[in-house]
Structures are given as structure tokens and as C-alpha cells.
Structure 1
Amino acid sequence: MFNSEDEGYTFYNKYGLEKGFSVRRSYVEWDGSNCHIILRKFVCSREGVREEKHMKRKMEDRKRRPRSITRVGCKAKLVIARQEETGQWFVKDFIDEHNHPLAPRDLSCLLRSHRRISDEQKADIADMEKSGIRKHHIMDIMCMQYGGYDEVGCIMRDIYNFCHANKQETISSGDAQTVINHMVARQEQDSDFFFRYLVDEAGHLKGLFWCDSQSRLDYEAFGDVIVFYSTYRTNKYNLPFVPFVGLNHHRSTVIFACGIISHETSQAYEWMLRTFSDAMGQKHPISVITDGDLAMQRAIRVVWPDSNHRLCIWHIQQNIVRHLHDDVVKEEFRSFIYDTSSIEEHERKWLHFLQRNKVTSEDSWLHQMYKMRKLWCAPYLEGSCFLGLSNNQRNESLNSVLHTHLEAKMTLFQMLEHYERCLALRRLNEALQDVEALQSVPFTEENASVLEKHAAKVFTPAVFKLVLWSIDVVIKCEIREVLDAAEVTTYVVSKKERMDKKIEVCTETKEGMLRSISCSCRKLECAGTPCSHIFYILGILQEGTLPRCCVPTRWTMSAKCAFAPTRKSEMYAYSAALQRYRKLRNFSHATCFKACHSDEAFQHLKRVLEGQDVCKGSTSEQADSKGSTNAQGNSIRFGPLMPQSANLDGEGFEKVQDPVHVP
């Protein structure tokens, strides 16, 4: 006898697991009022046969390859009926004969009716997927946790199906609309959260920009140089993904904002740059590094006319390989990137290079790069502040943290999740570097100079490594001449291996105290760190500390002292039920590990965890791949909850349609 139809199904399904077949629900009878089921038949999953119309259809008429045949007319069944007087269910009919081979016990757990993802597994899977763990890795982790595939209760296909259904539920109101809903809610929670979007005439999203309050504070501290590209179209709509990044006080990636546009036109980029300026209080960057997009160049000239602009050397190197096939021409072209000769000499070399290689067509790549030479050749950019980002592949690695694990099938909301995850990782990395800088001082030799020891205290460890290189080169410097004036003294310095090149270091003193120092090599202005020439003169002057002008605040631990940092991502909030689950899970891990060391403790804890009153008030229902309900009949949301605004149903909020796919 059974108390319910579900209890009868569970009983027969367990029997099927032991015997080696899968079970499914079949025929059902209702009472006269159609309110209650009075009879239910459970059958072997191989019961029945495939319909004849599907068997006779020709291959050329099929849209997909037909599935393997599983129905073989098996007669095994269990029929249960409900007694009207007591409400109990009894076995009315039972056939235990199968006309097909049964699966062994170690394989029967893989049959359909015996696979089920429990609610707690769904919560863990949702968390792992949000963390960027791939589905096959999630399955590997679960196999390790449960002790084998036969104990997990599901297969990889079930995980894929659940993740897909969970995503569809998340964006059920529409992909673009879900993102807008989320951002409106974030703005309600954080008044400094900034976002703006554009739609076309039909209401389709064609532009989106956003940044949180911490990113805006980061820009205030480190927004002197920014890097942004638009070469990544990693979403299902083929829209350019444009992150704005820079360097923090540890010379690590800091993310300022992110944007998405539908078309790479000057108007679209102008909208994005103007929106960026609005978000950042109209503070324009000193310098900008981009790829070679012409529309982006025009937009920068219009919106940020006073900002220094240069092209990314890494992208130029990639294009050299793509467009030039002669090794000699490649090397000669690369020499223009780092050539430090005068502009006049540089122009002469260019014209000779173009004539020698017979570059006459204005459409050729070489001629186009010649027209843009002021954006990437060293002589034209000398003295501009780029914090050393223009000399190597560092600017590409800044963006690489955002492009890892991006996929072409991503929805906008998945891209937003990916962005927030990268943002949280960058801020965690900064927190770890802050701890190291606050709790330690870089090692210096006992016989190190007082300037070196002072530099180790004032600069962050990552920046001190760069400063140390300048200090080590001091021994190569030599004074050529000293020019005295009232309060300004100019020292003419040369490197011993290049005595023909003269560098002027100017010092300003007042009442015998050093007020400022500058160098004609302009490394301090360009990279933000003092050069070897300055260290050499400071050593001669027997200065015990670096002047304030040689220690930019952005390279010290005081760079963000005016801003209270937010380390934790605020994109998600967990439901009360999931918060309790996570806490209990963490507590139980420690308790279970202690109990596993003796059989007595293991058996005791097992009895406690299996006790019925422990889960009093909770649902015993198992969840299928589409979700679950709790004891009150409410839907359970697995994984973090996306903030949703309560004001979106009011006037002034038009529904935003998903973007149009860009060919």
C-alpha cells in the first residue's frame, strides 16, 4: 500500500534501479469530477513501439538524423489504484517480464528515470557555472565529491540541460530587457552606479555603457591613461565588446567601465566616449591607447581632442605579420616603432623606405600606416605620458583578463556576468597586493643607498622593481658640465657608453633646500618614475629622500586613501533559503571531516543527518531539470538572485528589444 501516487512511482523506480530498467508514467484515470487521479500505470521505458509514420519517412525528408530505437514493446508494468474510502493506493496489476536485456547495477544508475539533479546539487552547479567552471569540469568535480559517476545521480547531459534551462529562466523577459532590469535595480541600490543605453526606431538595443561606483573612483585615481579596443565580438549578436581599462598603483589591470555598440561607426564611438566622460565627471584622460580602428580615431579627435592618442604596438605587430611577407621589410618597418631620431630625420627615412619598396598606392597597408605614423612612431610621441604601456605587450595583457572564456554564443546577460566576475577577480588581486604592500617592504641590500631604501618605502613593490632598474644604472652616468644660476642649477649628464648624447638635469633650490628636479629625458613625465639621471644627481647632492615631485601619488599606497574601496562584487544577492544552505554546508563540511576519523562518530552523525525531524518543514520533493518548488509552492531560484527593480512596470520604462545580429 502507498500513501500517494508519487510514493508508488518512487517504489517502482527503486525496484527498476535494482533490476536494471528505466521507468516512466503512462496511462492515467481521473474520477468523475476530474479532480483526483484514481488509477496510474507505470511502465518500463521500452514499452510500446515507434509510430509507423516515423519509421517510413525517407531520410531526405528528415530535418535531423533519427534517434536510435528504444521502444521494443516491453509488457512490464505496475498499475496502482486509489481506494476512495481510505485514500490509500494499492497494487492492481503487476507484470515483471521484460523482452529485452536488463542493465547491470553499475549501469542502471545511468538510465533516464534514475538520473536526477537534486536541489542542493543545482545550487552548487549554478555557483560553479557562475564562477566560470566548464560543464565537463563540473561533472569531474562532482564525481570526485560523491565518489564515482554511479553516486552522482546525473550525467553531463543533465548538467548541460539544467544550465540551459536556468539561463532561459533568467532571461525569460528578454535578454536585453533582463540586463536593463538588472542595471536599474543596481542603480536603486547604489546611487553612483552609472549606466546608459540606446535603442533604434524599433526598440532594439544598439548601445550600452555601464560602470559601478568603485570603477568611477578607480578612474578618479588612475584615469590618466586608458586602454580600450573593440576587436572582440564574443556574443550571439556579434556586437563589439569594448572594455575601458588602465593601470592601478600596483601596475595591475584596473577596469573603469565597459560598453557594447551595434556598429563601429564614428557616431557610435562618439556616443560611447561622451557617455564615458559623463560618467567620470568630464575628466578626460591624459593619454589613450587603442587599436587601429579609423572610426575610433575620429571619435577621439572630436570628444577628447586634448588627449594624447597612440596605437597599440601589439596590434601593429600582429598586422605586420598579416600584411608583410618579406622579412627584411618587416624588420625595417619595425624599426620605425622605436626609432628615437629627430622628426626630420624620421621623415627622411620614411620617404626613402616607401620609395625603395615602391609603395605608391594609397590603399596599401604600408601607405595607410605612414599616414597614421604620428599615432605610433616614437619621435612624434616623445614626452607624452603613457606609463610605459607603449613599449611592450603589456597593454594587450590588460585586456586579456576580460577576454578569457568569452564565447561567441554568449547572451548579453552572460557577458555581464563574465564582466562582473572579472571585476571581482581584479579587485581581489588588488586587495592581495595591498596587503603585501602594507605588511612588508621590498628587500634592499645592507649597503644600499639611502635613496634606494627610501624608494622601497614610498613606492608600491611592483613600481619599486621598475625604480630599482633606474637605480642600478646610476653607475653608468657621468657629469659633463654644471651650469649655475641664482636658484636653478643645470647638470649635463651622459651615459659612459654614449658620451655623445647629453641629458640635462635641472634642480631648483630655495634657502639651501631642494624644491624640484627635472630631466630632459622626460621619463618622470612619461612613465611616472624617476630616471637614472635624477638618481645620479640626487646622490651627488647627498639627498636622503626623494623629492615629492619624484614620487607621484598614483604609484604609492596613498593613491586611493581618499576613496573607501569596495572589494566585494555586488552583482548578486542570494535568497534567504540559499544563504542558510551555504552556511549550513560550510559548517557541515568541518563537522563531517571530524566525524569521518572514527566509525562511531560517522554512524552517529549519519543518524542525525538522516533524522526526519531535522528537515521538518522542508519539502521532500525532488527537483527536475526545470526547477523545483518549496513547501509553500513557491518557485526555487537556484544560484544567486539577480537584483530586479520594482519600478520597471511604471510609466517611462519602454520594453527594450534584443539587439539585431550584426553580420
Structure 2
Amino acid sequence: MDSASGGCDESYSIDTGVEVSACDMEISPGMTKYWRPICANSLKPHVGQQFDSLDSAFGFYKQYAGSVGFDCRQSTTRKGRDGGIVLKHVVCSREGFKHRHRSDAKRRRVSSRVRCKAKVVFKFIPKGCYSVHFFEERHTHSMCSSIAKQFLKVNRNLDVGYQIFVASCVRANIGPTRSYRLFKEIVGDYSNVGATSVDFQNFKRDLMAYILNGDAQLLIDTLFKRRELCEAFGFEYDVDEADQLSRVFLADAVSRKNFSLFGDVVSFDATYRTNRLGIYQDPAVKVAVAQVFGASKHRFCMWHIMCKVGEKVGPFLSKDEVFRRKLNCIVWDNSIDPEAFELRWNQIMEEYGLGDNGWFRYLFESRTFWASPYFQDEFMAGLVRTTSRSESQNSFFGSFSNGHSSLVEFLVHYDSAISAQRHAQAKLNADCEACFPVLKTPLALERHAMGVYTISVFYDVQEEICAACFSCQVVSLSDSDGSVSYMIKDGNHRAWVVNLVLDDNCARCSCKMFERMGLLCKHIFFVFKDRGLESIPSRYLVHRWTKGACLHPIFDIDGIVVDQSAKVENVRRLTNLMWSDIYACVGLADGNIDRLSQIRSVINDQRKLFLQDGSDNGSSVAGGSKKSVINSFCGSMSKASSVEVHDPVKAKNKGSGKRLKSARERAASKCAKQSRRCHTYDEYGHNSWTCPLNN
């Protein structure tokens, strides 16, 4: 074949100045231009070259294509009688041509097909391997530039390390796009990532596809495996009549220990629906709480009640500061008794003419559900006074999860959130051990309180001790039948009665301010100071507020120490330690070229050994590794499990239906809406087209 050849041994620059890959260009007698890539002979396939498997053969050709600058894809496959592949065609991605459609005239469509003839054919030989049967290296197009090589599909490989990184980002509620940017910061540049943002998104898509239609089953199987690892882990679940998961309760060893110490429970609805309980004045909620949570107390939220006062009393009274101050003094006062509350409430209703107001009448009838004088002896932890505790929990867990998470993702995100909380708790415990607050009195009571209480609780106790020393005084004192009754006046010029039993120093104050929390008020501290006590009696030391509350063994359940050290997932732990060691080595070698080269050489040598073992060759086995990464993230569905749990029905929890707006909200939105302006006569309420004065 006569041809005019213009080849070069190195990369060259065309008229645009872009550096392209090295290749020879030749023109056939039919004036067809061909480009022949130039590369080392060890990278180029040749007829008769043999490979152990078809995967390794295809991987070799992909490496050749990526080095010279073109993409390839698998094409025709011929199988034998036994079903095995006997002939396999691998062609250039620009082979063939694109069929035109009528819509192409309206839309801007591009095509990379230029009928390229470059290809390689692998044939099965009796030796049990594959050999290169045919190889056409000429292309009808030039090779891509060095800048464009990073975007070739053959050079974009989301290997196992990348997949583990994306899965770890999913655990931290980081999306694929942000994880791609984060990985770029680790490797230094986008060109060093070896993949695109779409590749990261595709892995997340494959992860969700694996979970699809098996979300609930994967969740239950994961919980069963956790119970096998630790006998202290417990869970229960329910399904409905359609075998769909309806609710799940789970508690690990630490949660069970915390419940035995503090009695706090955080529950989540396992379905995709959103449920709200407890803070709204809903008759249906009151009935449901009484039926389902028989031992629980249903209370209204005072914060929500006070927010509605302005719209219930009218525009004039809502701006009356004196009325607001009087009402707040009743509602937020924890020291008054029920009789005083009812008396002062009726006085305000009569003074401001609110006796016939239906809303205030309903509040008074249901006062036992929200007024603090009616449950002073119950520990409410501030839940009735404000929703800040529940809102803070929602905000905290919202930073670890999102509304679109599957059940498997939610469990992973929940584990991350709980781990963050326990780490913060450990930090607070460490501060209690290492920090000593400044004492403000010479009393031994304060010194004893500093030694037993945590720092945050001690500051509350210290404030009461200081008030007992500097703002309390005895008004009267009476002694009868082994008990002493103190009449004490505090800094607010109010008198309170403290009854003290002399035999065992058992004191009780009529204010009951701190009694329901398990702490002592300033009046009782004044009596203890007067009696000369040097330490707080043990009966008043509630264990949940002390420093030793969290010092029990982590897996100590009901006096039984649970040993799970032999059942820890060693693979996950070693993987985390390996990443920590790698980052530590890179940090120590940063800035030293010799050290960095040494670390990279060691890692590459180990990688070559793994490749020779067949653990990863960049093709079909990589797909198996991808599946193993997905299984490590969400678990594999157990075939031997007798549990068949279907996914719950998804329901909208946002934007469904319309909320009825109050008159105040409608007026505010109407004022915020900008009125039309007539530019002809400079008036508002209409425009120039609808102006009644425009003929």
C-alpha cells in the first residue's frame, strides 16, 4: 500500500498549540487519513500474544488504549457449544456511525462516531487461554490530547480504595459530589483523582440499587448480626398484615447502661412516615398517649401556648406590656402552689375582661396539662417550658442524616450520631476529672459538692449555696417531736418553710424548686449550714448528677459484665487502623521527596503482589470487589434467615396539603405583598392598562 506518512516519535502540537499523543499519520490511496499510535512495544498488542483469561486480555488492551489516547468498548462475542466465549471483538469507541433522527434538526446533538476500524480480536485456544487473533492499530481519527486523556473511560477507574472512600462519606452524610471534591483535596488535583464526579455518583446509584426493595430486610439482618456479636445488644421489630416493617426498637450495651443510670430514651419511627407527639394540644394525641404510653405523662408545651397569646387577646391587649408581665409572672413561676395559681389567674381574667374568652377558658380547664404548680413533684427536665431540647435533638440528628435516607443509611447515620454524642460525653467526663472550679465560700458543703457533682451541675449547686450564705435569713424557728421547722426569707423577700428531721437530717422545703430534679435548694442548704453539716447527705446525692455515673464498665448490664472483645469485627478495625497509619506516614514524609518516594514504592510493590494474586485486575473481579464494598456498608441479605420483611410504604412528609393560616399570618403576608403601581398617574392598586382614568 502506497502511503504518505508523517510520523513522529514524540508528542507534537497542532495549530491550536494543544499537545496530543504521539502517532503516525498516513494517507491511503483512497485519500483516507489514518493515524497509527506510537508507544513502547511492551504496551502494544501483537498477533499471537497469549493471556490467562479474557479479563486480563481486555485489561491489557484498555491499558494500551489509555496510554496512547483513545477509548475502547467490547463488541461482538461468539460462544461455543458449551457456552464459553471462543471469540471476542474489542473495538475503538469511535467505531461505526450514529443514525440521524428527525429531532436532530431541532436539537444540538454531537457524535463521536467516525467509522473507526481499529480493533483487536481475542480467540480461545486449546491451551485454555486466549490469544490475539487479529489486531488493527490504525485509526481514522487522531489520538486525544494529554489534557483529555484523564476523561477517557479507560483511564477512569473507581477502584476499591475510591469505593471505600465514597462509602465512608455516605456514613458521614456527605454526598457523592462533595466527596469527589474532598478526594480532590487529598490527592491534590482533579487530574490525579482518576475519576469524575459522575463516577462517584454512579457508585452511590449502584449502592442505592442494591438496597432497593430489600431495605427493611437488610436492616433486620444487620440487627441480627449485631446481636450475634454482642449478647447485650437487643432489638425488637413489628410488621403489619402485609409483612411490611412498621416499627423497630434497638438498644446496644451502652444504651442499656445509660438507661439503667439515667432513664432517658430516644426513640425513632422506623417507617418513612413522620410522627409528632407530645407538645401540641390535640385531643387525639391525648387519647393515643394514654392508650399506648400508659405509664407516661402527657403535657402541653408552655412555649407554644405563650406564642399564641398575642393573636388570642386581640391587637390592643397584645401590645400591653403590663398584661404580658402579669401573665408571665403566673405562668413561668415554679414556686407557687395550685391554689395561688388559680387565684391569680382568675384575677387577671377579671381585670382584663378575658373571662368569656374561649381559648383562655380551655387553658384553665386543662391547666393540669401545662401549668407547673400541678406537677412540681415530677421531674420534667425543662420539656414543658420549651421545645429547645427536642429541637436541639432534631438539629443534631439532622446534621448526620437527611429525609431521603433509606433505612440502611439511617442506621449507619444513627450510629455516627450516637458515636459523636458519646465522644462528647467522654470529653465532658475528662474535663470533670481534670478541672477544678473556683470555690466562693469557705463551707465544707461546697467543697464536698465540687468533689461529687459534675461541673455543670456543681455550678447550679454553687449558686444555691452562695444564696444560702448571703441572701437567706431565719424568720422563725420551732422545735417539736424530734423535728425542726425553719421559716426562711430569701433575697426575693418571700418566706419558705423547711422541715428538718433531726435523727437523719431529712429536710423538705415548701418551694419544691429543685426537689423534682434531685438537687437541693438554697433554703435547705441554709438549714444544713446552720446545723454545721460538712457534707451533703447521701440520700440527696442523685447518682445521675455525680461524676461516677459514667465510670462503670461499658458493658456492665445489671451487674453482669458482657465480654465482646472476642467478637469484634477485626476487618473493619484493621482497615481503620491502616488508613490511620497511611495518613501518619504521609504526614511524616510530607516535604521530603526521598521519604515520599520510598512510601510510594512500598505501596506499589504491594499492589503488584495483590494484582498477581488475582485480587483485583481492574475488570470483572473489580466488580466483585465493588460488591464486597457495598456488602460491608449495608450488609448482605441472609438467605438462611426466616425473616421476610418488606419495605414500608413511602409517604410524603413535607409539602402535602395546605396548612390553615391564622388571621395574623394572613395580614402579615398581605402587608408584605407589593401592590401594583400605575406609572401613568403614580397610584397603587392597579397598573397603566387597568387604570380607570386612562381612556
The interval holding the TM-score normalised by the smaller chain is: 0.7 to 0.9
**SS across alignment from 2:418:** helix
Quick one: which of 400, 412, 415 aligns to 1:417? 412
Q: 1:328 to 1:105 in 2, by over 3 A?
A: farther
Q: Which residue of 2 aligns with 1:278?
A: none
Q: Which residue of 2 aligns with 1:176?
A: 216
Q: 1:211 to 1:150 in 2, by over 3 A?
A: same
Does 2:129 correspond to 1:89? no
Quick one: which of 113, 124, 129 aligns to 2:165? 124
Distance 2:146 2:613 in 1: 34
Q: How many residues get paired?
A: 581
Distance 2:430 2:192 in 1: 42
**More moved, 519-528 vs 340-349:** 340-349
Does 2:467 correspond to 1:469? no
Q: Quick check: which has more Rg, 1 or 2?
A: 2
Quick one: which of 117, 135, 143 aligns to 2:184? 143
Q: Which residue of 2 aligns with 1:506?
A: 499
Shift of the alpha carbon at 1:140?
2.2
Does 2:74 correspond to 1:25? yes
CA contact (8 A) 2:59 2:617 kept: no
Q: Which residue of 1 aligns with 2:617?
A: 621
Shift of the alpha carbon at 1:386?
1.8
Q: 1:460 to 1:6 in 2, by over 3 A?
A: same
Q: Which residue of 1 aligns with 2:287?
A: 298
Does 2:147 correspond to 1:152? no
CA contact (8 A) 1:118 1:623 kept: no
Q: Which amino acid aligns with 1:503?
A: W
Q: Which residue of 2 aligns with 1:526?
A: 516
Distance 2:597 2:272 in 1: 61
Does 2:541 correspond to 1:541? no
Shift of the alpha carbon at 1:296?
3.6
Q: 1:90 to 1:208 in 2, by over 3 A?
A: same
CA contact (8 A) 1:444 1:453 kept: no
1:383-462 paired onto structure 2 within 5 Å: 383-392=377-386, 393-437=388-432, 439-445=433-439, 448-462=442-456
Shift of the alpha carbon at 1:533?
1.6
**More moved, 413-422 vs 399-408:** 399-408
CA contact (8 A) 1:441 1:456 kept: no
**SS across alignment from 2:505:** strand
Distance 2:147 2:351 in 1: 73
Does 2:91 correspond to 1:42? yes
Q: Which residue of 2 aligns with 1:491?
A: 486
**SS across alignment from 1:611:** helix
**Deviation digits for residues 637-656 of structure 1, max 9, x if unmatched?**
34745567969544xx4x22
Sequence identity percentage: 20
**Deviation digits for residues 600-659 of structure 1, max 9, x if unmatched?**
4443443333226643525232268x96226xxx95234745567969544xx4x22221
Shift of the alpha carbon at 1:519?
1.3
Shift of the alpha carbon at 1:582?
4.1
Quick one: which of 216, 241, 244 aligns to 1:204? 244
**SS across alignment from 2:615:** coil
CA contact (8 A) 1:25 1:41 kept: yes
Distance 2:272 2:604 in 1: 55
Shift of the alpha carbon at 1:469?
2.3
Q: Which residue of 1 aligns with 2:40?
A: none
Distance 2:343 2:622 in 1: 71
CA contact (8 A) 2:214 2:647 kept: yes
**More moved, 108-117 vs 599-608:** 599-608
Quick one: which of 535, 552, 560 aligns to 2:542? 552
Q: 1:9 to 1:494 in 2, by over 3 A?
A: same
CA contact (8 A) 2:217 2:646 kept: yes
**SS across alignment from 1:559:** helix
Q: Which residue of 2 aligns with 1:162?
A: 203
Q: Which residue of 1 aligns with 2:270?
A: 260
Q: 1:205 to 1:153 in 2, by over 3 A?
A: same
Q: Which residue of 2 aligns with 1:637?
A: 629
Distance 1:470 1:528 in 2: 14
**SS across alignment from 2:73:** strand
Shift of the alpha carbon at 1:145?
1.2
**Deviation digits for residues 170-203 of structure 1, max 9, x if unmatched?**
x356222222222333334444433333333322
Q: 1:404 to 1:488 in 2, by over 3 A?
A: same
**SS across alignment from 2:536:** coil
Task: Tell me the TM-score normalised to structure 1 length.
Answer: 0.75
**More moved, 142-151 vs 541-550:** 541-550
Distance 1:411 1:173 in 2: 11
Q: Which amino acid aligns with 2:549?
A: A
**SS across alignment from 2:237:** strand
Distance 1:643 1:34 in 2: 33
**SS across alignment from 1:79:** strand
Distance 1:109 1:149 in 2: 9
Q: Which residue of 1 aligns with 2:346?
A: 348
CA contact (8 A) 2:173 2:401 kept: no
Is there any run of 5+ residues in structure 2 with no aligned partner, and where?
1-45, 653-695
Task: Tell me the TM-score normalised to structure 2 length.
Answer: 0.72
Q: Which amino acid aligns with 1:127?
A: S
Is there any run of 5+ residues in structure 1 with no aligned partner, and where?
60-65, 227-243, 246-256, 270-288
CA contact (8 A) 1:503 1:520 kept: yes
Does 2:151 correspond to 1:110? yes
Shift of the alpha carbon at 1:495?
2.1
Q: Which amino acid aligns with 1:427?
A: R
**SS across alignment from 1:656:** coil
Distance 1:540 1:47 in 2: 98
Shift of the alpha carbon at 1:162?
0.7
Distance 2:98 2:271 in 1: 50
CA contact (8 A) 2:485 2:500 kept: yes
**SS across alignment from 1:628:** helix
CA contact (8 A) 1:188 1:645 kept: no
Shift of the alpha carbon at 1:130?
1.1
Distance 1:14 1:525 in 2: 75
CA contact (8 A) 2:254 2:555 kept: yes
CA contact (8 A) 2:299 2:370 kept: yes
Distance 1:67 1:58 in 2: 7
C-alpha RMSD of matched pairs (Å):
4.1
**SS across alignment from 2:381:** coil
Q: 1:212 to 1:24 in 2, by over 3 A?
A: same
